[in-house]
A and B are shown apart, each in its own frame.
Chain A
């Protein structure tokens, strides 16, 4: 261009145009060069920014991995919150302050909660996942004054290296200390408040026979039905079949006129077998298939007109006993055909037999014989044969007998000594006394029944018509109490499914149903575990347990930890707020609760469960688990 201009100058023409050309050329050159300079400077600016971003990324990565280090030291050491600073001043990473600065770079680390949706994916809302945390490391800097830059690195930490100390079985719990608490057979083992057995018996309900003036004499219960028999009712029935599904209000299903006083009843299958005072029908067999309309299916008439006193049915035979007769008081009657029972054999006992209980190959009789109040009879032969006997003190008549296993329970008429005898019948030929007791009352003894470890005795004294004994140790029968509210004597009794059925002489409530009030529980108690050794310094993360809490019950948990086994006993019990010296701090959330990082570094742990309840019920803890990292 310059040469061109010069050439034109040499020609000496168009000088004004030449200046303009120069100006244009300079302008173009200036524009181009300015663009180039900006391009190069801009490129360099990009490079500088890239370098800063690289430094910021490394710095942010340090924040993330410092947080990871802290979480690995203890999940609880990295609590949700922030912004946090990260310090390595102690030689390892710790939270410190609210941020860090390195050169032109400022960094904060924040920890936030993580929620999961129904599919287990991380979601903005849903179920809180305490074992996942979201970590955000934010670095800010200025590449040049007034040009701020920001970098966020986000990472999710999941607590997957957790171990757990879990106690769940009876054996697990057995090494702890129970204070007003007890091991319970729930699932594979559990702990509850100590149970307190109910005491006494309360009247639940009663049934009043339509004919008011006839005493009930015996009762037998099967399922939800009670069979009651009474004195001779000249104008109506003596057998009443009562629905006791609701014991508070028994309902008559049906009744049958037996035409005589009945002394005893035994129900087996579709038939009720009745020991009667009817002199031509000492054994009456009633078809009870339709409880609304019982019918007399058949009867057996003993050769002599003696009242039958008691009956027992075993297999194909009914064993009937009677008052003293000329030559027989025990009848073995084949009842294969209830319409026509037939005598198989009969045995002379030598006096009035008041009660019979058949167990295995022997019948056990309570008799009026003065030196053989109890007689054992081998019933295997067609004609039963007397095997052995027991002579109670004095001459009081044996009145009734109940056999359970190898022990016979005999009651006699009241006397100056004892009325209640426990007799070892391991060898039926030679019954041996185990123990005896007295209830010291007058009147007449009528009946005995045993259930569990309790023996009930019915007698004629209205103020204490049922006496009951604890026979947990048969050698030491213990009078526990008496039912005082019957209002008359009790002639028969039967215990089934927590209900005690009484056949009473009370003309307004011949059938009475009693129950023992439900057992209760201690109102408070604690279970203190054994000490668990994590084998090395541990970080304790979570406690969770499975509990059942009826209304009014509560369960809460405390822990204590120490670096040594010996240190546990003097360590402070703590809740979710850690070692804050507050004894009122308890874990209450069974599902999951975080353990305070105060406990980090302690190798040994012990827990305590506190139960509280209304006294009528108890909470149950089936298992408890402590998660930790080592």
Chain B
């Protein structure tokens, strides 16, 4: 009797250990996945926020628009750019482009400087010229998509953000 009990007990213990173990592993995986999701989302959000703020600030301050590539995705098009003209000659031209899925800015002789880091990929940056025909309004629409670098397509690391805005040139 004493030995049988011991075996049953052992079996119960084993089952409990297995269950608890499985739960624990699941739990740890969950924690890890949550951390990954949070980190990847944070990364794309912060990159997108910085990129958008910089683009908005530059367009707001610009005086006019140089020949630029409107309506095309700068991330897919080699050499495509947005070029802005300022009253301050040192800033001319101010250009945004995307090379290797990294957003860059060049201002006059300075740069190019990267505005997004290697954790994220700019997969869409499209500018649209919404300036009025008479030229009284100069306005640029901006579409920006940034995704987390995730070459293995792991679900937990899939994060992206798409922003859409429009910016009026205020220096007139």
Contacts and interface: CB of A to CB of B under 8 A. Distances in A.
Best-buried of B5, B13, B44, B130 by chain A (most CB within 10 Å): B130
A54 interface: yes
A72 B2 contact: no
Nearest to B172: A161
A515 B9 CA distance: 135
Best-buried of B23, B27, B162, B165 by chain A (most CB within 10 Å): B165
Interface string A612-630: 0000000000000000011
B41 A72 contact: no
Contacts of B42: 47
Contacts, number: 130
Interface string B42-61: 10110011001000100000
Given A22-B16, A29-B20, A33-B27, A54 B163 contact: yes
A15 B9 CA distance: 10
Nearest to B161: A51
Contacts of A33: 23-24, 27
B139 A102 contact: no
Given A36-B31, A44-B37, A92 B163 contact: no
B130 A88 contact: yes
Given A5-B13, A65-B165, A93-B130, A74 B52 contact: no
Contact of B45 (A5, A47, A69, A630): A47
B118 interface: no
Interface residue tally of chain B, by bracket?
Answer: 35 or more
Given A40-B35, A51-B161, A536 B134 contact: yes
Given A55-B162, A629-B136, A61 B56 contact: yes
B134 A69 contact: no
Interface residue tally of chain A, by bracket?
Answer: 35 or more
Contacts of B34: 40-41, 43-44
B78 interface: no
A26 B20 contact: yes
Contact of B168 (A15, A36, A47, A68): A68
B131 interface: yes
Contacts of A36: 27, 31
A410 interface: no
A73 interface: yes
B52 A92 contact: no
Interface string B38-82: 100110110011001000100000000000000000000000000
Given A40-B35, A72-B132, A88-B128, A93 B137 contact: yes
26 contacts: A22-B16, A26-B20, A33-B27, A37-B27, A37-B30, A40-B31, A40-B35, A41-B34, A44-B41, A50-B45, A55-B164, A58-B52, A58-B142, A59-B164, A65-B167, A69-B131, A69-B137, A69-B139, A69-B166, A69-B168, A91-B133, A93-B130, A93-B137, A536-B134, A601-B134, A630-B134
